[in-house]
C-alpha cells in the first residue's frame, strides 16, 4: 500500500489528480489501476487522468486535468490562463484552453488546444500548481479577442499585483507575427501608451533570433548572459555558457556608433582569449540560416541539438 500513500501525497499537490504514468511509476499494475476505477476509489476524468475519491471538484482541477491530458509540454493558455492569473473581465468557461508545441492536433472533449512553436522559458511558469503561460504571453495570446482598452486594464492590474513587468511584455510580443487570435499591434498600442520612449523595434531582432533557434527544436540559449573578462563584467546577447558559445545580435541601431563598434570588437577579442566561440547574426539572416548555423555549431562541438540532451545552465 506504499504506492497508494505516495499517490495520495502526489494527488494532494495536484488538485486531487493522478495520472496513469504516475501510478505506474509508484508500482501499480494496469490491473490495479483498473480495479481502483471499477471500485469507485478513482474516477477517470480524462484519458490517462484520474480523480482520487474524496477530492472536491474545482475549476482548477479541471484545468490541470486538461493540461495533463494534452501532454507533458502542455500549459494552460488564453482564457484559461487569464482566469488563473485573475485578470479583469476574464471569466470561467466550460471549455479549457491549453497550448502545446506538439506537431499533431490533440482533440479532447471540453478542450480547445492551440499548437505553437516551442515556448521560450520566459513564456511559461506555474500558477496554483498548474503549468500556465506567463501573464505577458497570456496577454499576447488574448490580444485578438480583447480590445486595446481591455488589454490596458488587464496590464495595469497585473502590474499593480506584481505579476507583470512591461519589459517582459515587450520581449514577448517582439518578433511574433500576427496570427489567428493574436494582434501584436494592440499590445504595441498598450506599451506605447505606458512608455513615452517605447520603441517597438527594441529587442525585436534578438527575440527573432531566439525564436528561430527554439522554433527549430534547438536548445534555448541564455538571454543576456554576464561573464567576467579581464576583471570586468560583460554581457553577451545569447549564450550557451556550458559550451562557451556566444551569439551576438548585430543590429545597426545598437551597434552603429563608433564607440559601440569599438566596444564590441574589444569584447570579441576578450571572448577569443577566454576560448569562447562566437556567432554573429544581423537582420539579413533568415530564420532558417540562423537555425542551421547554430545547429552546425552544436554538432561541431559534439553536442546534441535536442533540448532534453543539453543541460540548461543558470543565467548569471
Residue 228 to residue 181: CA distance in whole angstroms: 43
Q: What is the pLDDT of residues 19-50, one digit of tens each?
A: 999 999 999 999 999 999 999 999 999 999 99
Q: Which residues contact 192 (CB under 8 A, 6 or more apart)?
A: 198, 200
The three cell numbers locating residue 258: 563608433
Q: Strand order of the sheet with strand 124-127?
A: 111-115, 96-100, 75-76, 130-133, 124-127
DSSP secondary structure of 10-32? HHHTTTTEEEHHHHHHTT--HHH
In three-state secondary structure terms, 161 is: coil
Q: How distant is the alpha carbon of residue 20 from its chain centre?
A: 25
Average pLDDT over residues 174-201: 80
- Domain topology for 207-309: Endonuclease; Chain A (3.40.960)
Over residues 261-282, mean pLDDT: 83
4-13, 149-158, 187-196, 281-290: the lowest-pLDDT one: 187-196
pTM, two decimals, is 0.79
Q: 217: phi > 0 → left, psi -120 to 50 → alpha, else beta; which?
A: left
Cell of 301: 562541438
At 143 the pLDDT is 96
* Residue bearing cell 499591434: 185
For 271, other C-beta atoms within 10 Å of its C-beta total 20
**Mean pLDDT in residue range 127-134:** 97
pLDDT of residue 314: 42
Task: Reply yes or no on whether the pLDDT at 102 is more than 90.
Answer: no
Write down the mean pLDDT value for the chain. 87
Domain with CATH 3.40.960.10 in the chain: 207-309
Q: What is the pLDDT of residues 164-187, one digit of tens each?
A: 999 999 989 987 888 888 999 999
Amino acid at each position: 500500500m506504499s504506492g497508494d500513500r505516495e499517490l495520495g501525497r502526489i494527488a494532494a499537490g495536484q488538485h486531487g489528480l493522478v495520472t496513469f504514468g504516475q501510478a505506474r511509476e509508484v508500482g501499480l499494475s494496469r490491473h490495479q489501476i483498473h480495479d481502483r476505477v471499477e471500485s469507485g476509489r478513482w474516477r477517470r476524468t480524462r484519458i490517462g487522468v484520474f480523480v482520487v475519491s474524496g477530492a472536491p471538484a474545482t475549476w482548477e482541477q479541471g484545468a490541470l486535468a486538461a493540461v495533463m491530458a494534452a501532454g507533458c509540454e502542455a500549459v494552460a493558455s488564453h482564457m484559461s490562463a487569464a482566469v488563473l492569473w485573475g485578470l479583469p473581465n476574464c471569466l470561467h468557461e466550460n471549455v479549457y484552453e491549453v497550448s502545446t508545441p506538439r506537431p499533431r492536433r490533440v482533440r479532447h472533449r471540453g478542450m480547445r488546444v492551440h499548437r505553437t512553436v516551442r515556448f521560450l522559458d520566459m513564456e511559461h511558469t506555474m500558477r496554483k500548481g498548474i503549468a500556465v503561460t506567463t501573464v505577458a504571453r497570456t496577454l499576447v495570446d488574448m490580444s485578438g479577442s480583447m480590445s486595446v482598452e481591455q488589454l490596458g486594464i488587464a496590464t495595469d492590474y497585473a502590474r499593480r499585483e506584481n505579476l507583470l513587468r512591461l519589459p517582459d511584455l515587450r520581449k514577448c510580443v517582439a518578433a511574433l507575427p500576427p496570427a489567428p487570435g493574436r494582434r501584436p499591434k494592440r499590445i504595441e498600442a498598450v506599451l506605447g501608451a505606458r512608455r513615452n520612449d517605447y520603441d517597438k523595434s527594441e529587442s525585436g531582432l534578438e527575440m527573432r533570433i531566439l525564436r528561430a533557434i527554439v522554433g527549430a527544436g534547438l536548445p534555448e540559449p541564455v538571454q543576456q548572459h554576464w561573464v567576467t573578462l579581464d576583471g570586468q563584467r560583460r554581457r553577451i546577447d545569447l549564450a550557451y555558457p556550458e559550451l562557451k558559445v556566444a551569439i551576438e545580435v548585430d543590429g545597426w541601431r545598437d551597434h552603429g556608433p563608433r564607440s559601440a563598434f569599438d566596444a564590441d570588437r574589444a569584447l570579441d577579442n576578450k571572448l577569443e582569449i577566454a576560448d569562447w566561440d562566437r556567432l554573429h547574426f544581423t537582420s539579413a539572416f533568415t530564420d532558417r540560416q540562423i537555425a542551421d548555423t547554430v545547429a552546425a555549431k552544436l554538432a561541431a562541438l559534439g553536442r546534441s541539438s535536442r533540448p532534453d540532451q543539453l543541460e540548461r545552465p543558470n543565467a548569471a
